[in-house]
């Protein structure tokens, strides 16, 4: 973790101006992170990551500008099945799109819960940013069962750059919920959009 330099003048805190995009621990008092950063759960730790539209000063290393998906991740994060983000599919709607998501830091995982209402087909499509950007890379995705076992792994969408798709047919309601898992390879980060569709 990158070191964080804190100092206090009365009640103010200040940070080193050379902070880069690598995540570092959140401060224990306000402000927890410098301007342009957001405090985010990473496993059992809270770390500062560059927020969407942030104006962090890079330190010269290859960095990646992560989207701020804290609204989806919530205070507990969405890095396990137990803390997965509850989607409205298929209870309230048959499809949904989430934009501005991120696999950040490199070890991040995102889980999305889908509750089927009958025997249905489940499709998930991840479209990620240019993987050739410094610090970025391709993402992977799967449809998992309640135990976390992968039912279907995503494959590349033909003719669509930076898109992967997983499709599971005739999933029984009795085995619901199902989970969509998105991750990197442990050495890269990236921003992405997720489309979830359910059909009879």
Do the strands 7-9 and 45-50 form a parallel or antiparallel pair, or are they unpaired?
unpaired
At residue 175, the 3 state secondary structure works out as helix
Task: Report how far residue 56's alpha carbon sits from residue 140's, in angstroms, rounded to the nearest whole number.
Answer: 28
pLDDT tens profile 19-30: 555 556 777 666
Q: What is the mean pLDDT of the chain?
A: 81
Where does residue 36 rank: exposed (0-12), middle (13-18), buried (19+ CB within 10 A)? middle
Residue pair 84/111 in contact (Cβ under 8 Å)? The answer is yes
Task: Report how far residue 112's alpha carbon sits from residue 24's, in angstroms, rounded to the nearest whole number.
Answer: 26
- Provide the pLDDT for residue 92: 93
pLDDT tens profile 156-178: 999 888 999 999 999 999 999 99
Task: Report how far residue 4's alpha carbon sits from residue 15's, in angstroms, rounded to the nearest whole number.
Answer: 7
Question: Model-level pTM?
Answer: 0.70
The dihedral through the CA atoms of 56, 57, 59, 63 has a sign that is: positive
CATH class of 85-199: mainly beta
Band (pLDDT 50/70/90 cuts) for residue 35 is: low
**What is the largest distance, in Å, between two alpha-carbon atoms of the chain?**
62
At residue 174, the 3 state secondary structure works out as helix
pLDDT tens profile 68-107: 888 888 888 899 999 999 999 999 999 999 999 999 989 9
Domain ranges of the chain: 7-63, 85-199
**Nearest alpha-carbon partner for 67 in 86, 49, 85:** 49
């Amino acid at each position: 973790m990158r070191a964080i330099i804190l100092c206090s003048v009365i009640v103010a805190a200040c940070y080193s101006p050379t902070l880069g995009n690598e995540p570092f621990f959140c401060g224990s008092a306000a402000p927890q992170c410098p301007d342009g950063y957001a405090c985010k759960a990473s496993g059992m730790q809270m770390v500062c990551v560059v927020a969407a539209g942030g104006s962090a000063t890079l330190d010269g290393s290859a960095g990646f500008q992560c989207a701020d998906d804290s609204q989806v991740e919530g205070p507990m994060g969405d890095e396990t099945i137990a803390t997965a983000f509850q989607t409205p599919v298929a209870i309230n709607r048959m499809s949904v799109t989430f934009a501005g998501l991120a696999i950040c830091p490199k070890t991040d995982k995102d889980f999305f819960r889908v509750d089927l209402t009958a025997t249905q087909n489940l499709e998930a499509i991840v479209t990620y940013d240019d993987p050739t950007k410094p610090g970025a890379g391709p993402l992977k995705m799967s449809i998992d069962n309640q135990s976390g076992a992968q039912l279907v792994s995503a494959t590349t969408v033909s003719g669509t750059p930076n898109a992967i798709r997983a499709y599971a047919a005739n999933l029984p309601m009795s085995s619901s919920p199902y989970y969509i898992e998105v991750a990197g390879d442990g050495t890269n980060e990236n921003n992405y959009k997720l489309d979830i569709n359910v059909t009879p």
